[in-house]
Chain A
């Protein structure tokens, strides 16, 4: 918690780094933010067509719209995946700045994670609204809980990034390991499917995945789905603090050496 408190104390610095990161992403691009929405939208449409037309599975679990379910799986996953990956590279990416200005590496990592999360959620919320307008998603009061669920996702991605970012500074293979894990994670997590669509024999194991709990919460608040598996919520509740604890240990050990590798 003290680390979160320190980050809160650096909120002005983090906000400036987020602004700088977003400016850098869209520099020279006339349609800036539009691209960060359009590309996921194309992928979502492609998955929707594959499931709807190819496999004729337009109805999802409990009669929910399949594409709406995909929306609440894919987009939060993209947010998590992009935030984790960009957060991992944040210290190296900000190396030129860190060599000249004594900034907190936590602030750099947080800014990269936060900007990814914010941008992805702009697209997510816009599409959720569009789906509601089209009547494919019920407009529920539970949507007010979306910021809380997104915060959990942010804390999970931040935990991954804070743990891997200093390791990546020393050993650059880290990015390939994390990419491989995220690829496996994409298929092992209920992104394209819902947890209770899996064979009962493996549902128990799959529920130990903390991302399953996270995506379950997204579907709960956005689609009015049932509560996710208790095991997946416990896993989420355990993994987030565990990642933060581990990342604090790693930072304490690695921080004195990082400047040698930047």
Chain B
């Protein structure tokens, strides 16, 4: 059961929570058993634990990311923390004002307008009077930036607009703890940026956050600690960077084992193209294949392209893990040529000297181009990370020096 009994400085405490679902029993039998207070008598095969033995403490101003594959129990855990699902075992203590934003919504009614829904949410979740809620509408309208749609039924909204309204409403709920899931998967880049800024200021003001997301870079950026769930249980919990790295390794290993994704074939693996990337390597200065770079390291990129019918060109790009572009370079623009390896295979070599990327996760992409570099045939990517101080803002570390003699 969730309760609001506080415990020391933790704003949210979960102790051994578990959620069990039982199968193979008719609803009538189940109702009778529930009313009698009997426990389920089925065998282990009839029982499914969506979440089991999950314990953690969330301190004030702390943030916890929850990651895991589909079906790992993330949504169930969030619903238990939010108080919309009962744990079968264990307890959740909430010692602060908690709000939740789950599945891109906060219980909006599709037939009501954005204004009516926002007003209702403030009354239902923040306990405001109707007049108080009405007074907050201009602020929500300004934050949501959905124009005249604010007074139209929500069923006419896109997912992005719905999220804008939900998020704007949440900001007015002024929670001390926010439990939320894939909030940044919809909406345009500008609004995502606005949300990230709000999250950062929310945490800086002493708010606490539980964020569940598949977008690992967002989790890493916003959450100091991360919990990795696997089949309903905690696989690892700790520093976000380390947990996410281990999670990525585990996911990668599984996918490689299943033959779904090779080390250098993430996107556009199409056999038989006239210009096809067949290999992509990232090596440190000793020539060793690497995916984890030190800040400011010098690295070599090696791209093999199979082009039996002509001489290929290549475009190499670096993006952040959330696909924000960092840099791109093409062999044709720089007048670079490939080394022929025979049998239609060509190799490009590219060196990044003192790579100035800030700490984080990135993607390296190689695109095969035709002889005139006008048509893109194939794209292959690999992920890598740059170690360093996580607090560095921005994408690259520019060469800059403070001096004591400003003009």
What's the least CB distance linking B1 to chain A, in Å? 8
Contact count band on B: 35 or more
Interface residues of chain A: helix, strand, loop or mixed (majority): helix
Q: Report yes or no: A256 in contact with B86, Cβ–Cβ below 8 A.
A: yes
Complexed CA–CA distance, A107 and B1 (Å): 19
List B residues 114-150 near A (Cβ within 8 Å). 116, 120-121, 123-125, 127, 129-130
List B residues 64-87 near A (Cβ within 8 Å). 79, 82-86
What's the least CB distance linking A173 to chain B, in Å? 8
Q: Report yes or no: B107 in contact with A100, Cβ–Cβ below 8 A.
A: yes
Complexed CA–CA distance, A258 and B31 (Å): 11
Contacts of A254 in B (CB 8 A): 34-35
Q: Report yes or no: A24 in contact with B109, Cβ–Cβ below 8 A.
A: yes
Interface residues of chain B: helix, strand, loop or mixed (majority): mixed
Complexed CA–CA distance, A262 and B181 (Å): 20
Complexed CA–CA distance, A148 and B82 (Å): 39
Segment at the interface with B among A12-20, A50-58, A60-68, A196-204:
A12-20
Does A255 interact with chain B (Cβ within 8 Å)? Answer: yes
Segment at the interface with B among A91-99, A131-139, A208-216, A219-227:
A91-99
Q: Report yes or no: A253 in contact with B107, Cβ–Cβ below 8 A.
A: no
Does A23 interact with chain B (Cβ within 8 Å)? Answer: yes
What's the least CB distance linking B321 to chain A, in Å? 29
List B residues 13-34 near A (Cβ within 8 Å). 21, 27-28, 30-31, 34
Does B37 interact with chain A (Cβ within 8 Å)? Answer: yes
Q: CB < 8 Å: which of A16, A170, A260 contacts B124?
A: A16
Contacts of A170 in B (CB 8 A): 27, 30-31, 34
Tally inter-chain residue pairs, CB-CB below 8 A: 81
Q: CB < 8 Å: which of B34, B109, B124, B125 contacts A253?
A: B34
Q: CB < 8 Å: which of A16, A100, A257 contacts B86?
A: A257
Complexed CA–CA distance, A65 and B185 (Å): 67
Contacts of B112 in A (CB 8 A): 20, 23-24, 27
**0/1 per residue, B89-113, Cβ < 8 Å to A?**
0000000000010110111010110
Q: Report yes or no: A96 in contact with B107, Cβ–Cβ below 8 A.
A: yes
A101-B125, A102-B2 given; A259·B85 CB < 8 A: yes
Does A250 interact with chain B (Cβ within 8 Å)? Answer: yes
Complexed CA–CA distance, A254 and B294 (Å): 56
What's the least CB distance linking A82 to chain B, in Å? 21
Complexed CA–CA distance, A12 and B2 (Å): 22
What's the least CB distance linking B249 to chain A, in Å? 34
Complexed CA–CA distance, A24 and B124 (Å): 17
